[in-house]
Structure 1
């Protein structure tokens, strides 16, 4: 396992507001959940961490639960009652995270083709956003649990622990989960997938972009396998296109 020194500030929070560079930089997010409700089954975000593409910790805080905690899940989260006693209120957490992600763009008039707004990378990212009671444009989300090349053949998700071992070659989550460590794994997976070198062909070809939908079944039956391959397109957007200025954003 590589040396990943945790920079999480256990007693408070930090935020780096220097991210004003151009380009769609990516931010990785990870949350640790405690349990609420009579049986402790309701996930409550108790800790959230964000890192940038250079693996710098740019935000970390404990989060004040919206309802009483009935299970701290200490063996996994490492969170105790003391950590949450003076934790940051959820609405303040939301404001700080959105300020980082929108990076100077107006929330009400966001330009998805602009260069300031950030891509948000995570594993099971929608669950994290739901627990934070936040929304973020789907075109700007990159989920390592839902990205087709990282999923099982039956389109079920692998765990982050499995993906890290398989693609990055080291172990995580061997004891108490470190959200900084998980963020680093998510960011490294994203950058590895984004860095794949593909030939981007047919982007200006309307027929190719419409795939099989624009061709009658009787016409398809007459085509050879090579001809079918020529007009086929994947049903997901490859993350390598995040680096292409010619392509619009998509998930």
Structure 2
């Protein structure tokens, strides 16, 4: 039997080493007690909670303040009331939706033009119809004669109105009885006499008849704002052609473009024709025909300028 050798160490630790170990154990035990106290007060994260947070990658946002009452460090945010958009598995469906939206937007924009665009389109359409198809029914010329009412005849009221077609045919020509008593016939200019007003058409009745003719038409007139004023009527601006404000006419007549030339002067220069020569006064039919003739010689050139300056 082989011999067994035992190495036994019977050295007893020194007193200093025992004190050192006791101090280390006491320090550790004190640390553990303090940690448990802090955990109970919620001032120190528990190891289990910390592990859960790390597991779910839930981290506190840098802008969030500390909440001592909430023991759970993972903040829960309310969900949005708007559900997220569903993603289609069909790649063509999203493209189709985008295409439909874009097309609908184009249709909406094209079917609801602005007022200026509608004026341009309407003016262009009218000019093309007149020049290409030769339809004159959309164009009429108007001229009104006024008499004076009120103190010293200072107020102007309608006493005669004439409307002619594109070819100069008379569509309407009537004497009209003003609403207020006439104090000045202005016969030298209006050509109206007392006998003309005896059986004249009352203003309200005549106004309805005239406005029915003017509705939807392109109105040609010379200083037409005076005629519309006595009719108490406002016609769309892009359906008005005022021969007193056409620079092309003045240029053809050799007059300054910004000058407001009279109907008599333009007719004499461009047609070598005398109008408004009678001492009995003006004829609204004659003036309306002369106005239409002036418009017709510049119609094509003038209408081409209207898209850039509608309602001129």
TM-score interval w.r.t. the shorter chain? 0.5 to 0.7
C-alpha displacement at 1:24, in angstroms? 6.6
TM-score (norm. length: structure 1): 0.63
Asked if the contact 1:47/1:60 (under 8 Å) is kept, the reply is yes
C-alpha displacement at 1:153, in angstroms? 2.7
Rg (Cα) greater in structure: 2
Matches within 5 A, 1:115-194: 117-151=216-250, 153=256, 155-175=258-278, 176-194=281-299
Provide closer, same or farther for how the CA distance between residues 100 and 191 of structure 1 changes in structure 2, counting only shifts above 3 A.
Answer: same
Q: Deviations over 1:171-191 (max 9, x none)?
A: 000122111110110000000
- CA distance in 2 between counterparts of 1:147 and 1:98 reads 25
TM-score (norm. length: structure 2): 0.51
Q: Which has the higher contact order (CA 8 A, sep 6+)?
A: 1
C-alpha displacement at 1:120, in angstroms? 0.2
Q: How many residues align structurally?
A: 173
Is 1:71 aligned to residue 135 of structure 2? no
Question: Secondary structure of 1:134's match?
Answer: coil
Asked if the contact 2:153/2:182 (under 8 Å) is kept, the reply is yes
- CA distance in 2 between counterparts of 1:241 and 1:101 reads 23
Structure with greater proportional helix content: 2
Q: 2:200 is matched with which residue?
A: 87
Q: Which consecutive residues of structure 1, in runs of 5 or more, have no partner in the other structure?
A: 1-20, 103-116, 197-237
- CA distance in 1 between counterparts of 2:167 and 2:137 reads 14
- CA distance in 1 between counterparts of 2:136 and 2:285 reads 24
Q: RMSD across aligned C-alpha pairs, in angstroms? A: 2.4
